[in-house]
């Protein structure tokens, strides 16, 4: 698993007009090629009356799956420039579909490349991007008498609070950077004078915004 990578918010879209042609870019986070193909089919069905529904996607830790489709536009003028925008942004697990409603004015090869690339940029800016960082989920169970002190210290620490469960004891779960588990455990032991039961609840990705939606 990658320790950190960038991707998009779950879904979004953006729109622009070039020489009376309408370009609508749909963005979706995907983790398999089946999800990407289903998303493309969904947009094609939604815009069956459009001149073109071009697509591109990158999937996998090392971008093992890369596809681009011009959907009837001149070869290399749509899907490839769309894919290049994803690569330049350093995104993973991302699929984009650009729907074009022809406005009656031909754009030429260079014009199409710029238009499809710009459409994807617009769609990504409207969708927003996130950083996903691999973290360990570490739970601490302790008596309710310690809750105020421990919660206050955690909220003022560099350990993001995942959740608090109010059970027989309070169970507080934090995100801890991979490799920093022992440091966190020692800190929590000191904080509670050893009156704590610690458990590691596996790994997961913590998401933080890089660009909020609607930046364009």
Ranges in the chain annotated CATH 3.30.230.30: 4-127
In the chain, which residues fall in CATH 3.30.70.240?
133-211
- CB burial class (10 A; 0-12, 13-18, 19+) of residue 54? buried
Q: How far is CA 41 from CA 10, 77, 189, in A?
A: 17, 21, 53
Query: Domain 4-127 belongs to what topology?
Result: Ribosomal Protein S5; domain 2 (3.30.230)
pLDDT score recorded for residue 212: 72
Tokens of 168: 């027989």
Q: Using one digit for the tens of pLDDT, what is the confidence trace for 132-189?
A: 999 999 999 999 999 999 999 999 999 999 999 999 999 999 999 988 999 999 999 9
Which pLDDT band, with edges at 50, 70 and 90, does 214 fall under?
Answer: low
Unique residue bearing structure tokens 């979004």: 12
With respect to CATH, is domain 133-211 assigned 1.10.238.10?
no
Q: Could you tell me the pLDDT band of residue 211, with boundaries at 50, 70 and 90?
A: confident
Question: pLDDT tens digit string along 19-74?
Answer: 999 999 999 999 999 999 999 999 999 999 999 999 999 999 999 999 999 999 99
- Give the separation between CA 42 and CA 96, rounded to whole angstroms: 12
């Amino acid at each position: 698993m990658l320790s950190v990578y960038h991707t998009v918010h779950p879904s979004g879209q953006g729109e622009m007009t070039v020489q009376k042609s309408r370009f609508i870019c749909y963005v979706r986070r995907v983790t398999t090629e089946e999800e990407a193909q289903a998303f493309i089919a969904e947009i094609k069905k939604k815009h069956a009356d459009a001149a073109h529904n071009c697509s591109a996607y990158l999937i996998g830790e090392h971008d093992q799956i890369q596809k681009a489709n011009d959907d009837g536009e001149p070869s290399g003028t749509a899907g490839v420039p769309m894919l290049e925008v994803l690569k330049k942004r350093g995104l993973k697990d991302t699929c984009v579909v650009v729907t074009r409603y022809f406005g009656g004015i031909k754009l030429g090869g260079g014009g199409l490349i710029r238009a499809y690339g710009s459409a994807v940029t617009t769609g990504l800016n409207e969708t927003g991007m996130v950083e996903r960082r691999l973290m360990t989920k570490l739970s601490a169970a302790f008596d309710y008498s310690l809750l105020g002190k421990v919660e206050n210290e955690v909220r003022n620490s560099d350990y993001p609070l995942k959740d608090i469960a109010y059970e027989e004891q309070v169970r507080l779960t934090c995100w801890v950077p991979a490799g920093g588990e022992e440091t966190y455990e020692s800190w929590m032991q000191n904080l509670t004078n050893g009156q704590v039961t610690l458990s590691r609840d596996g790994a997961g990705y913590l998401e933080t915004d890089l660009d909020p939606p609607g930046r364009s």
